[in-house]
Structure 1
């Protein structure tokens, strides 16, 4: 009893017709999941931060702390 020979002609096309739609579906699903679990919360966090962020106040606090070498504190 011998094993039948494998059919090699057209094997790549047959396998691609099966696996390519699955690959595209999984990739699209991963992209949608990433968008709504990572990027949207990150964008919302940035928006919330910059709603109440005062750059001038932050600059003055860093100047008073001596972070900048070329800017003197306002008391000098």
Structure 2
């Protein structure tokens, strides 16, 4: 009794026909999940932050704290 010969010719093409659509499907699904669990909440958080952000008020607070060396605090 002998063992059957292994299939060598066309083996890569046969396995790619099975694995390639699965790989593309999983990568597409991962991209969609990342978009809605990471990107969209991050964009919303930025939008919420900048709705109430006052750059002048923030600049004045940093100037009073002495963050800037070239800007004198008011009162000097």
TM-score normalised over the length of structure 1: 0.97
CA distance in 1, matches of 2:67, 2:47: 26
Q: Which residue of structure 2 aligns with residue 47 of structure 1?
A: 47
- What is residue 13 of structure 1 aligned with on the other side? 13
Give the gaps of 5 or more residues in structure 2.
Answer: none
* Separation in 2, partners of 1:28, 1:55: 39
Corresponding position of 1:34: 34
The Cα of 1:2 is off from its aligned counterpart by 2.0
Distance 1:22 1:60 in 2: 56
- Alignment length, in residue pairs? 76
Runs of 4+ in 1 over 2 A off after TM superposition: none
TM-score (norm 2): 0.97
SS at the partner of 1:67?
A: coil
